[in-house]
Chain A
Amino acid sequence: MTPLTLSSFTATSALGCGLAPTLAALRAGRGALAPCAFETVTLDSCVGEVAGVDEVALPEGLTAQFDCRNNRLAWLGLNQDGFAQAVERAASRHGRARLGIFLGTSTSGILDTELAYRRRDPVSGALPADFRYSGAHNTFSLAAFVRRALHLSGPAVVISSACSSSAKAFASARRAIAAGVIDAALVGGVDSLCLTTLYGFHSLQLVSRAPCRPFDVARDGISIGEAAAFVLLEPAAAGPAANGVQLLGTGESSDAYHMSSPPPDGRGARAAMQAALSDAGLSPQDIDYINFHGTGTASNDEAEARAVADVLGATVPGSSTKGATGHTLGAAGALEAVICALALQDGLMPGGVNTAQVDPTLPVHYLRANRSGPLLRVMSNSFGFGGSNCSLILGRAG
């Protein structure tokens, strides 16, 4: 692919709102997972909850249609690091109809529906009169809200392929730019805590009681987090390149194996990574750091380790930042792409927090402590239910 510039980016997660607290936490090797106190949930687990989401007010005039936790988190995220202003400048440069929106989410505003089901009419079973479908429950609510809030009029879509959603958003966006349908893209992911995912992963016995420990010999499941992460993608020549970070390649594949577990040999993951390398025109030895999908479940980490060793070799340094942020599901791809962009700018390979002893049976070079050094190209993996795999390669410009 022709490289695209990340002309602005931002992330809001349990690590904090915006890039400064995110980078500070990564530099300090600090995680943000805490015992779950979300809503009325009594599950014995840890979550990465973003502080203050419930206090966020949506822009004037959009509350009645779009107010829900997921859109509040989106609005909180858009207002960090001057991101909304950067989108406004790009819309002026390219035209409002020429800036596309590609966002990933797995559960959108389903929390509102979950809570509304507690208030059904005892006789008729009807949902309460204040229930809203299109602006909250529907998967597209996120992109519809962002399109209205930022006054954009170009193509807009939500990619919802579980935990690969917002990584795949980058692939869709770059194709639309390559096809000439748009000139720039607002890409990202927003997923917020809800009962479906908290109780759902619990039902699959995939949730750790402790903060998750990716690649640890004693890893025993995920910790769920929430995040809003956004990137403005523009052709290298069109936007300001002050950040110096580019999207170099995307690769996607399907496992065609099982709805909720990967093939043990990680062949789908392997295919996605190989496709990303091919798309970027790079060799395995060009990758300086890999941000693993690294959820912290026994089988996911094992399959990914085998796949990475097959494609990149077992010596490429890597880590999963989910020990710090939790697994932010549909937002993970975008959040971890932003973490990779920070890593490239800062020359920082973030060590994976919580992991005490790396599983000696896994063929990986897993970083438990931060390492600094010049980084030119990094890979980020995102794999989801349904066997949906996506790998991204980012690099420094020039």
Chain B
Amino acid sequence: MSAQPAPAAWLEGIGVLGPGMPDWPAAARVLRGAARWENVPTVLPAPHGLPPAERRRMGSLVKLTLAVGLEASAQAGADPATLPAVFSSSGGDGQNCHEICQALASADRLISPTRFHNSVHNAAAGYWGIATHATPASNALCAHDASFGAGLLEALCQLAAERRRVLLIAYDASYPEPLRSARPIPDAFAVALVLAPERGAAALARLSLAVGGGRADTLADAALESLRTAIPAARSLPLLGQLARGGAGRVVLDYLDDTRLGVAVSPCP
């Protein structure tokens, strides 16, 4: 594959929530080998910011994305209301989808209005806006197993084209049966990155990205490697591991079929 220009960004904030990873500091300890990974179910925190009526309507994905988005924004010292956002998920709200399909297969086919408007792939993005009062553009992407890579690529293209900070949130959650057998995502996992076009006081590392080929990096720990392959948003783990270890280096992330994303990481001293 030919050499391509490399969009780049300054990473300012990280949020993580997944099984055995209640936040980024805990995930970083696991990923740099300072703590053992305990495969305990993802615990979704109570949501902040949403009015009670919205809180009743929202699904688990909203709690998941609010948690990581707010964690990353706080670390970056950014007001989430000012950030354009890129949301990327392989499947959206599986529980809601199941409930709708079940109702549509029933005799009366009646589905609830709330279930219907929560069925859109951009539901988490919509609730994020309501909760944080963010009015800049938000995007809602899907690329199946490549959804983290697609989101990272979109975020870096936004930075390159528009030269303003952007929040990336990649997230996935389980389907209930019977869909779970067809798409066995074991648990919820989300990662958020605040990315900036210029180096500021909050800069943690410089990331530069290239679309290419090769083999995706794997994780040495077999249990973590199975997490990486089982949940599309966890395809970010090699990048998070590089950031947790703190050194300069290059990681290769899974993307589409035979295409990979190479990310060069240079930490800020």
**Which of A's residues lie within 8 Å of B, judged by CB?**
1, 95, 97-98, 106, 110, 113-114, 117-118, 120, 125-127, 131-134, 137-141, 143-144, 147, 153-162, 168, 171-172, 174-176, 178-181, 195-196, 199-201, 203-204, 252-260, 268, 271, 275, 384-388
Question: Taking the complex as formed, is B52 at the interface, i.e. its CB lies under 8 A from any CB of chain A?
Answer: no
Please report the C-alpha to C-alpha distance between residue A184 and residue B123 in the assembled complex, in whole angstroms: 30
Per-residue contact bits, chain B 1-16, to A (CB 8 Å; 1 contact, 0 not): 1101101000000000
The residue from B4, B137, B156, B211 contacting A254, defined by CB atoms under 8 A apart: B137
Contacts A172-B154, A180-B4; is A199 near B109 (CB within 8 Å)?
A: yes
Question: Which of B24-32, B177-185, B188-196, B245-253 interfaces with chain A?
Answer: B177-185
Question: Taking the complex as formed, is B101 at the interface, i.e. its CB lies under 8 A from any CB of chain A?
Answer: yes
B48: chain A residues within 8 A (beta carbon): none
The smallest C-beta distance from B132 to any residue of chain A, in angstroms, reads 7
Asked whether A386 lies within 8 Å of B133 as measured between CB atoms, the reply is no
The residue from A1, A95, A98, A159 contacting B139, defined by CB atoms under 8 A apart: A159
A195: chain B residues within 8 A (beta carbon): 104, 109
The smallest C-beta distance from B247 to any residue of chain A, in angstroms, reads 27
Known: A120-B105, A253-B136. 6 other contacts (CB 8 A): A117-B104, A117-B105, A161-B125, A180-B5, A204-B116, A386-B125
Please report the C-alpha to C-alpha distance between residue A113 and residue B98 in the assembled complex, in whole angstroms: 9
A171: chain B residues within 8 A (beta carbon): 137
Asked whether B122 lies within 8 Å of A385 as measured between CB atoms, the reply is yes
Please report the C-alpha to C-alpha distance between residue A157 and residue B258 in the assembled complex, in whole angstroms: 15
B contacts with A, residue count (CB < 8 A): 70
Asked whether B130 lies within 8 Å of A257 as measured between CB atoms, the reply is yes
Please report the C-alpha to C-alpha distance between residue A161 and residue B122 in the assembled complex, in whole angstroms: 5
The smallest C-beta distance from A259 to any residue of chain B, in angstroms, reads 4
The residue from B117, B133, B139 contacting A172, defined by CB atoms under 8 A apart: B139
Question: Which of B33-41, B66-74, B142-150 interfaces with chain A?
Answer: B142-150
Query: What would 7 A/B residue contacts be, using CB atoms closer than 8 Å?
Result: A143-B143, A154-B259, A160-B120, A160-B141, A180-B160, A254-B134, A386-B123
Asked whether B140 lies within 8 Å of A200 as measured between CB atoms, the reply is no
B137: chain A residues within 8 A (beta carbon): 171, 252-254, 275
Please report the C-alpha to C-alpha distance between residue A114 and residue B109 in the assembled complex, in whole angstroms: 11
- Name, among A117, A141, A171, the residue most crowded by chain B CB atoms within 10 Å (CB to CB): A117
B65: chain A residues within 8 A (beta carbon): none
Asked whether A203 lies within 8 Å of B101 as measured between CB atoms, the reply is no
